[in-house]
Structure 1
């Protein structure tokens, strides 16, 4: 008689033993029933766990990396604008003081440059731009802004902390020192010091009134200096001085000198774009939470300091991230690191990207590259800055915008290909993160990709 177990190894392995006694058969059946019961319980628990995980949804963790001033904080603000609109609107008016501080900082930088020029110019030297009595008068009339700057920084809990190994010609830094808030404070704590809520007034009316009066005083000084600030910035001799020193203030973070007429008013309210452009540097690591309604997921985003001394704090965050967004400011091909003037910023970014791609512990982590500050890149190229002067490997390629972008994109791709422990998909976006509209479209694409990858890792897809 034909038996399937004679030809099927699996059937033969699970077939009852030959000449099995009734007692042995009963014991075997009881063991099989118990095994089925345990297996069914395990299957049911796994099903319940899967349902619970689907209900809870995994927390999506994203780390923002890149050198200082690469656009990490601006990218974070874009995520907040896109996915945490209610919180964004609550905080937006509080950015007024920071935007005023950005504006004042730029004016004080111009005043310092004028003071230096007036102190070092010889009466017989005709080469520098002609700084006259008008500039001395503007310097005196704008002096109150220094006190306002110090007061705002004190209220923010800010400290001008910069690393530099080379102060540059004449002992003056090509770029002004920056204010920053410590990691224990961050944006939220800093902004709280400028917010006035109804419940604050109920709980402590005196403190709320003092906050309002202080804000009115600051605004009053800024408004009173508006005409002189505009005259200083638009002055032809000042513009010539900046040109000769090769200082492009319009490329600095927190640049608002072209918006003096709009910002220096009593009823000024920050726009979304103003907040995106505002500069408030944080020292250390900041964690921000967003609830993305589409899909019902909580996102935790980590913004870390990008200066060389801050990079040692990156490593502990590498082993628990769903994705890393690396920001590479490709407009910086002709710039030097603020903390070490001997190092080209683009070369430093290449080095960081190579290190990131080569880490074995990140071989399974989704890495997304933002080639950022394309708007500033276009401005430089239109102004006649030649890439090959600063990047010898660019060779004789055309200095056209699209050619330059394509070159940088292929170079980063080649670094990833050569140094990744395992070949991975290459995600790259050409961005200008101060452009909220185009960045919103990019973020939607990034969000979908990160979320799918996160669900796949959590075994939900």
Structure 2
């Protein structure tokens, strides 16, 4: 960005003719006094605002929520709303109802597109249904002034028929190649509920709903004497340029990783591996000079899906990460520890609090901020409750220490 400065040229008054006389010394002194008075007034106003902000910030903890698209960071925010009894509005509930339909149709569309790409054939009897389903819009219809979305009954029947096809199930096993959202099995298992006339999304539905975060949003929670302000920004590559605007006044960074993404591609870049992208992104954030003294909360998320993958033996780690010992394939705990070490090694100059429930870390002797890592499943409300209680304890202790009340 180019900065333009305005140069004010001063000319000798004598050169401007006799129509303007030179100001006297008294006049100059008066002008200087007025200018100084205005400057003091501005300074006092700024100092007053700073003190007020410090008083406000004394009980406010600002946490920046970062992570790649699909990491589950927005789900973390949703479960925190549920844990702290911040209700969803009627408009949000209506949006989530429509979102369940959209997620389901988009997921099936992606699988049908992948059939051609992978040259996997569907049962001939399914082809007319597949063609019909492919032409259905992602957004449900609305009737008159009733803004409750209408779910066509024929769509439900077509979706069930398509999902049960062996060819499509084979495609689903390879869905990581095009980043199909992992909530599709959940949606299909609950499809009957979604089509009920009085359907209202449950807490579980809301946590499983998937939508891209765009722009910047703030959500506040009051926990006893402290206000937690979470700032959520989009994780897709196109959204990351906006992150810089959120860095000011941050107390901690909550970085969320899709642990199950070790064999998956990015939705916006099918040539990029999700976990490798997350490692590069984490390295760029954790080494940023602005954050060297800040606390990092590293959530290795979606451990339920990760554990299933590793234990099944159908998604080995070594093809993507050759440094993973082949003899450890299938060992969930060793696989977890392998990826945890990869992330923590990127913060060599920091102290690391590596923890299981509860989240505990010991502060080192240097001035750099601590890193606390935890394995999480954001859709598991009870498990997230334990984690967030520990996070709150860590952040309050940090706040007290910064105020000089804790050594």
TM range (shorter): 0.7 to 0.9
Report the equivalent of 2:231: 302
Tell me if 1:231 matches 2:223: no
Q: Which has the larger radius of gyration?
A: 1
**SS of 1:101's equivalent?**
helix
Aligned length: 338
**SS of 2:253's equivalent?**
strand
CA–CA separation in structure 2 for the residues paired with 1:103 and 1:210 = 24
CA deviation after TM superposition for structure 1 residue 258, in Å:
2.4
CA–CA separation in structure 1 for the residues paired with 2:344 and 2:128 = 54
Report the equivalent of 1:341: 270
Q: Which runs of 5+ in 2 are unaligned?
A: 1-50, 352-365
* 8 Å Cα contact 2:177/2:265 also seen in 1: no
Tell me if 1:409 matches 2:401: no
**SS of 1:85's equivalent?**
coil
Report the equivalent of 1:137: 128
CA deviation after TM superposition for structure 1 residue 139, in Å:
2.9
Relative distance call for 1:350 and 1:96 in structure 2 (3 A) is same
Relative distance call for 1:284 and 1:85 in structure 2 (3 A) is closer
* Per-residue Cα deviation, 1:9-28 (whole angstroms, up to 9, x for no partner): xxxxxxxxxxxxxxxxxxxx
Relative distance call for 1:440 and 1:303 in structure 2 (3 A) is same
Report the equivalent of 1:398: 328
* 8 Å Cα contact 2:310/2:335 also seen in 1: no
CA deviation after TM superposition for structure 1 residue 383, in Å:
2.7
**SS of 1:286's equivalent?**
strand
**SS of 2:265's equivalent?**
coil
**Bigger mean CA offset, 279-288 vs 414-423:** 414-423
* Per-residue Cα deviation, 1:296-329 (whole angstroms, up to 9, x for no partner): x332211111122222221232231111101122
Pick 1 or 2: higher relative contact order, CA cutoff 8 A, min separation 6. Answer: 1
TM score, norm. by length of structure 1: 0.65
Tell me if 1:215 matches 2:141: no
Report the equivalent of 1:290: 221
CA–CA separation in structure 1 for the residues paired with 2:108 and 2:282 = 35
Q: CA RMSD in A?
A: 3.2
TM score, norm. by length of structure 2: 0.73
Q: Which runs of 5+ in 1 are unaligned?
A: 1-48, 122-127, 156-208
Report the equivalent of 2:392: 447
CA–CA separation in structure 1 for the residues paired with 2:171 and 2:63 = 43
CA deviation after TM superposition for structure 1 residue 287, in Å:
1.6
CA deviation after TM superposition for structure 1 residue 244, in Å:
6.2
Q: Give 1:54-453 correspondences, 5 Å limit.
A: 58-87=59-88, 91-92=92-93, 94-113=95-114, 116=116, 128-132=120-124, 134-139=125-130, 141-142=132-133, 145-146=136-137, 149-150=138-139, 210-212=144-146, 214-215=147-148, 218-219=150-151, 221=152, 223-243=153-173, 252-253=182-183, 256-292=187-223, 294-295=224-225, 297-384=226-313, 385-399=315-329, 400-418=331-349, 423-453=368-398
Relative distance call for 1:85 and 1:231 in structure 2 (3 A) is same
* Per-residue Cα deviation, 1:138-158 (whole angstroms, up to 9, x for no partner): 135536732xx2467xx9xxx
CA deviation after TM superposition for structure 1 residue 247, in Å:
5.4
CA–CA separation in structure 1 for the residues paired with 2:288 and 2:343 = 16
Q: Which structure shows the bigger proportion of residues in helix conformation? A: 1
**Bigger mean CA offset, 72-81 vs 316-325:** 316-325
